[in-house]
């Protein structure tokens, strides 16, 4: 464990160059593991303490897979920065550690290894992607009901506490969800033409009629016009998501909550309400 502390820069509670957000995203996207699960906070809340706890209680296969992923990430950082390795014979010692882990097994383990909670369900993600693609073949009225069901299932799959069952108005779905400690109102449209500034202003008006801390997510299957986004302006309280965004996040198995968090941060930093998933996760 002392070697792991050194090789992954775990002094002061840190792990490599991860922030809390990117640490959780790394485990979700690279390993399909929810590192924010409560059982890993046994020894403290820092990233280093959570990682030490995780490595000590998971099964051998998960332990090896995690160490390899962290090592590859560490080496990518060193190649990018041209930094000299501060740990003597790090690679050789790391390979020796893997050999010892894979080649030894206690005669009687006092506690069964913990099974990590998946960050997302791959079978469910595959089904959601198939459901999204199937929507295009439906007639407008049944598509509206199917779209309502799809969005509810999508938000629930990532623990976003979707509420009000996404009430249907024609092909417009209203609802709400929870992202972190913030409440978001949802408006979704499936129509042939991309959304322009008028619809965005209408939704912004709806948000303005609610509590001051309410935010919004506008989902448009056909996307948004560049002119509409420009005319809508910056500094608003909503973010936007296209049908292509939905497909990309499902196809690349990027958790919806991480996509939304990146969109929120981009909007906070630039004022722009819309950026594509493929630009956020190149």
Predicted confidence (pLDDT) at residue 147 exceeds the cutoff of 70 = yes
Domains of the chain: total: 2
Residue 240 DSSP label: E
Residues 246 and 131 in one domain: yes
Residues 188 and 233 in one domain: yes
Question: For residue 192, what pLDDT is reported?
Answer: 84
The domain in which residue 23 lies consists of 2-103
- In the predicted model, what is the mean pLDDT of the chain? 87
Tell me whether residue 240 is in a domain. yes
Residues 154 and 258 in one domain: yes
Question: For residue 120, what pLDDT is reported?
Answer: 67
Name the residue with higher pLDDT: 69 or 89: 69
Predicted confidence (pLDDT) at residue 115 exceeds the cutoff of 80 = no
Tell me whether residue 175 is in a domain. yes
Residues 182 and 268 in one domain: yes
The pLDDT confidence band at residue 111, using thresholds 50, 70 and 90, is low
Q: Indicate the residue among 57, 72, 103 that finishes a domain.
A: 103
- Phi first, then psi, for residue 215 (nearest 5°) are -125, 175
Q: Indicate the residue among 103, 133, 148 that finishes a domain.
A: 103
Query: Going edge to edge, which strands form the sheet with 182-189?
Result: 163-169, 172-179, 182-189, 215-220, 238-242
The pLDDT confidence band at residue 63, using thresholds 50, 70 and 90, is very high
Q: Indicate the residue among 103, 136, 161 that finishes a domain.
A: 103
Tell me whether residue 78 is in a domain. yes
Question: For residue 281, what pLDDT is reported?
Answer: 84
Tell me whether residue 20 is in a domain. yes
Q: Are 227 and 196 in contact (CB under 8 A)?
A: yes
Residues 46 and 139 in one domain: no
Tell me whether residue 110 is in a domain. no
Percentage of the chain exceeding pLDDT 70: 92
Residues 181 and 274 in one domain: yes
Tell me whether residue 153 is in a domain. yes
Question: For residue 172, what pLDDT is reported?
Answer: 47
Torsion 17-20-21-27 (CA) sign: positive
Averaged over 197-212, what is the pLDDT? 88
pTM passes above 0.75: no
Residues 129 and 241 in one domain: yes
Residues 131 and 240 in one domain: yes
Residue 174 DSSP label: E
Residues 94 and 126 in one domain: no
Tell me whether residue 191 is in a domain. yes
Percentage of the chain exceeding pLDDT 90: 56
Tell me whether residue 67 is in a domain. yes
Name the residue with higher pLDDT: 103 or 28: 28
Question: For residue 263, what pLDDT is reported?
Answer: 94
The pLDDT confidence band at residue 215, using thresholds 50, 70 and 90, is very high
């Amino acid at each position: 464990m002392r070697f792991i502390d050194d090789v992954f820069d775990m002094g002061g509670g840190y792990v490599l160059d991860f922030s809390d957000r990117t640490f959780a995203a790394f485990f979700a996207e690279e390993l399909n593991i929810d590192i924010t699960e409560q059982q890993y906070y046994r020894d403290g809340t820092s990233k280093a303490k959570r990682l030490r706890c995780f490595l000590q209680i998971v099964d051998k296969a998960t332990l090896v897979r995690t160490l390899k992923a962290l090592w590859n990430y560490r080496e990518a950082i060193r190649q990018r920065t041209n930094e000299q390795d501060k740990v003597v014979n790090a690679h050789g010692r790391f390979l020796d550690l893997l050999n010892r882990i894979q080649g030894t097994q206690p005669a009687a383990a006092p506690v069964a290894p913990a099974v990590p909670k998946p960050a997302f369900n791959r079978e469910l993600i595959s089904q959601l992607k198939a459901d999204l693609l199937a929507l295009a073949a439906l007639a407008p009225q049944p598509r509206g009901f199917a779209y309502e069901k799809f969005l509810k299932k999508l938000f629930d799959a990532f623990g976003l506490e979707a509420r009000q069952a996404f009430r249907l108005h024609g092909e417009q779905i209203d609802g709400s969800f929870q992202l972190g400690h913030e409440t978001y109102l949802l408006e979704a449209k499936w129509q042939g033409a991309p959304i322009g500034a008028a619809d965005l202003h209408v939704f912004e008006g709806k948000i303005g009629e609610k509590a001051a801390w309410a935010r919004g997510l506008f989902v448009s299957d056909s996307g948004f016009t560049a002119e509409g986004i420009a005319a809508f302006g910056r500094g608003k309280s909503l973010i936007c998501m296209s049908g292509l965004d939905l497909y990309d996040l499902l196809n690349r198995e990027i958790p919806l909550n991480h996509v939304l968090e990146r969109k929120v941060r981009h909007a906070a930093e630039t004022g722009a309400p819309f950026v594509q998933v493929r630009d956020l996760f190149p």
